[in-house]
Structure 1
Amino acid sequence: MDKRRSETWSRFVTTSAQATHYFEVIDFSLLEGWGAGWYVSSRTFTAGGRAWSIRLYPDGLKEDKAAHASVLLCFVGGAKGARTRYTLELLEKDGGVSDLQAQGTTTMLSHTFRTPGATWGFPKFVKKSKLKPPLRPSGDGFTIRCVLTVVGESEPEDVTAIAVPPSDMHRHFEHMLRNGRGADVAFEVDGQLFRAHRCVLAARSPVFAAELFGSMKEKDTAEPIKVDDMEPCVFEELLHFIYTDRISGDKRGTGDRNAAAQHLLVAADRYALDRLRLMCEAKLCRGIDARTVATTLALAEQHRCALLKDACLAFVASRDVLGAVMETDGFKHLAVSCPLVLVEILDKIVKGMSP
């Protein structure tokens, strides 16, 4: 009798795609009073090959005496039958999740969106009587964050299939920068010493390539290279990006984050790091307000950041903030350093007033 046994294994694999979208709402008080069911929408973002948006109903989805604001996720377009898991969260100014949301709204939602135009979310997202007091000193605005996972096709597969993990190259390079092993060049920034690897710097930045290997090569390589007009924390962040292609997490307040992004943008332009420069532009676009817009506009003009400049001009022209902007020190600096920009501001405002 043949007692040999055959053993096989399989596993069930489910694919997914994730996206995070931040929907910043400015001048919330101007959106109230239009009645239940009226909403404003975020820009469309994509996840899982489908288009999505966040809808905010300032007076609620249904009649409840406008006591609550509603927030829903909308399936804008794409293949039908989208299985999802997602969160909709109200963020504080420092980026933390607010405790003002109605009980239970921070939990993960699971829903299948069967047709484009379908919505699902929280009809009682936040009680407006709790929301309004903290808005007054912070500019009458807030941010909604959606972390969306779209579940893809599921299928069984042979266990011999090898799952390849995502790249972690950036972690290895970050470790190399931190432990300094093999470092062959040093920089002195305001008395602080930074060690690095000249081949890595040259591969990432044409300016470093010229400085370290080209005609600009330092004669005395034993001495640290002095970097003027830059703070040590900015140079440290610059090195972190060069080695990891990422910006480190920043827990500072909004104003401090804007200032840090401004300094980093200048450094990125100085060393021809175009991706870092655009990342800083994107950060500054999200942080535009009446207090910082003039400073950011001057920076955009001086460093030829066309997209950031357009965002600043649009902010000033689309909101009744010019009086507050003109009172800032940043506007005084703008008037002296970039006087032609003032003409562009007025032109933008006049065009916005035209019928």
Structure 2
Amino acid sequence: MAANTRSQAQALSTQFLSKLMSKDAQVRALYAFRLKTTTVLVSQWSCVEEPKIFVPENTRRCVSSKERFVERRYLEASPFLESDHLVIECSIIILKDPLVSETENTSEIVLPPSELSKDFGKLLESKKGADITFSVKGEYFLAHRIVLAARSPVFKAELCGPWREKDALCITVEDMEPTAFKALLQYIYTDNFLPMEDYDDNDKKEIVHHLLRAADLYSIERLKLACESFLCMNLDVETVTATLALADHHGCNNLKDACLKYIASPDKMEKVMASEQYDGLKRKFPNLLVDILEGVCKFRKI
């Protein structure tokens, strides 16, 4: 049975490839790429929004823009480049032409995209039916216990368990920025990041730093990984030491390796060690100096 299934899959794969490679073929297809490591860390999918026409004689027309390219300096500092090897996962969906019967008139009903995320976002924004309030450094956020409990085991225990907050109408959240808590609620309700177009690069990194702490505090693992991935791809001399300390404190091993690899790179190491942020790291987290030394030995090519 397994052999037959494998043979059928191989035959189907060959059929799809032949469609792409056949002379004079014009194939409608969707495609997506993402980077992978040997561990569980993956980057977000980079997808085309509309089907592209693949023509064997001219494949360049299938690439929509240069926005999907990654600068080499970011790639070399990321955890996705391992021992000079890069793994790129590609997913291709070929859209076959519908079969229309000559004797039967059929109409295709196209389902619209799911609006679940949008509807829950509206629920959060409208605050209708909210039954819990959070106070975060003087700002108040209304939410729904059942939604929070469904998305976070910590919220579930806090709001539905035997804890004293079970019957509380307002809970004070300590050691968290209001922007981070707002972004946390946005992700819990919609599974998407809070829009950050109005923030500059440094503010975005700071928000994601706080958001990673919140994701770890409330055990929202997918959000934590998404924050790790964002920070891995946006390391720089000014923030890499703070990101390293953050990764070490919250057990983000992939992010920590990315920081050590960035610091160990020949064109970055001297700049990092000359920065004020590195002096602060030595005072506050002297244990990380050993990790940096080991990282230099591990990642730097001598």
TM-score by length of 1: 0.59
Alpha-carbon shift at residue 21 of structure 1 (Å): 6.8
Alpha-carbon shift at residue 250 of structure 1 (Å): 1.3
Alpha-carbon shift at residue 351 of structure 1 (Å): 4.1
Q: Which moved more, 1:343-352 or 1:81-90?
A: 81-90
Residue 216, structure 1, aligned to residue 193, structure 2: no
Q: Distance in 2 between matches of 1:142 and 1:159?
A: 51
CA contact 1:82–1:150 (8 Å) conserved in 2 = no
1:203 alignment partner AA: A
Structure 2: gaps of 5 or more residues: 1-26, 36-42, 49-53, 76-90
Residue 203, structure 1, aligned to residue 203, structure 2: no
Alpha-carbon shift at residue 230 of structure 1 (Å): 1.1
Residue 310, structure 1, aligned to residue 253, structure 2: no
Q: Distance in 2 between matches of 1:171 and 1:140?
A: 36
Alpha-carbon shift at residue 141 of structure 1 (Å): 6.4
Residue 17, structure 1, aligned to residue 17, structure 2: no
Q: Which moved more, 1:209-218 or 1:282-291?
A: 209-218
Alpha-carbon shift at residue 170 of structure 1 (Å): 0.3
Corresponding residue pairs, total: 240
Residue 87, structure 1, aligned to residue 64, structure 2: yes
Aligned-pair identity (%) = 38
Aligned positions of 1:303-342 closer than 5 A: 303-342=250-289
Q: Distance in 1 between matches of 2:213 and 2:277?
A: 17
CA contact 2:261–2:299 (8 Å) conserved in 1 = no
Instruction: Assess, with a 3 A threshold, how the Cα gap between structure 1 residues 20 and 285 changes in structure 2: closer, same or farther.
Output: same
Higher share in helix: 2
CA shift digits 1:299-324 (9 cap, x unpaired): 00000000000111111112332222
Partner of 1:152: 95
Structure 1: gaps of 5 or more residues: 1-13, 23-42, 49-74, 92-138
TM-score by length of 2: 0.69
Alpha-carbon shift at residue 191 of structure 1 (Å): 1.1
Q: Distance in 1 between matches of 2:28 and 2:65?
A: 22
Alpha-carbon shift at residue 337 of structure 1 (Å): 3.5
Partner of 1:101: none
Match of 2:176, SS state, is coil
CA contact 1:205–1:273 (8 Å) conserved in 2 = yes
Match of 2:95, SS state, is strand
Instruction: Assess, with a 3 A threshold, how the Cα gap between structure 1 residues 172 and 90 changes in structure 2: closer, same or farther.
Output: closer
CA contact 2:183–2:194 (8 Å) conserved in 1 = yes
Rg (Cα) greater in structure: 1
Aligned-pair Cα RMSD in Å = 3.4
CA shift digits 1:251-289 (9 cap, x unpaired): 222211111111100011111110000000000001101
Q: Distance in 2 between matches of 1:81 and 1:163?
A: 32
Partner of 1:240: 186
Aligned positions of 1:3-152 closer than 5 A: 16-19=29-32, 85-89=62-66, 152=95
1:242 alignment partner AA: I
CA shift digits 1:54-85 (9 cap, x unpaired): xxxxxxxxxxxxxxxxxxxxx9xxxx899763
Match of 1:304, SS state, is coil
Alpha-carbon shift at residue 231 of structure 1 (Å): 1.4
Q: Distance in 1 between matches of 2:47 and 2:134?
A: 42
Instruction: Assess, with a 3 A threshold, how the Cα gap between structure 1 residues 248 and 18 changes in structure 2: closer, same or farther.
Output: farther
> Among 230, 249, 255, which residue is 2:195 paired with?
249
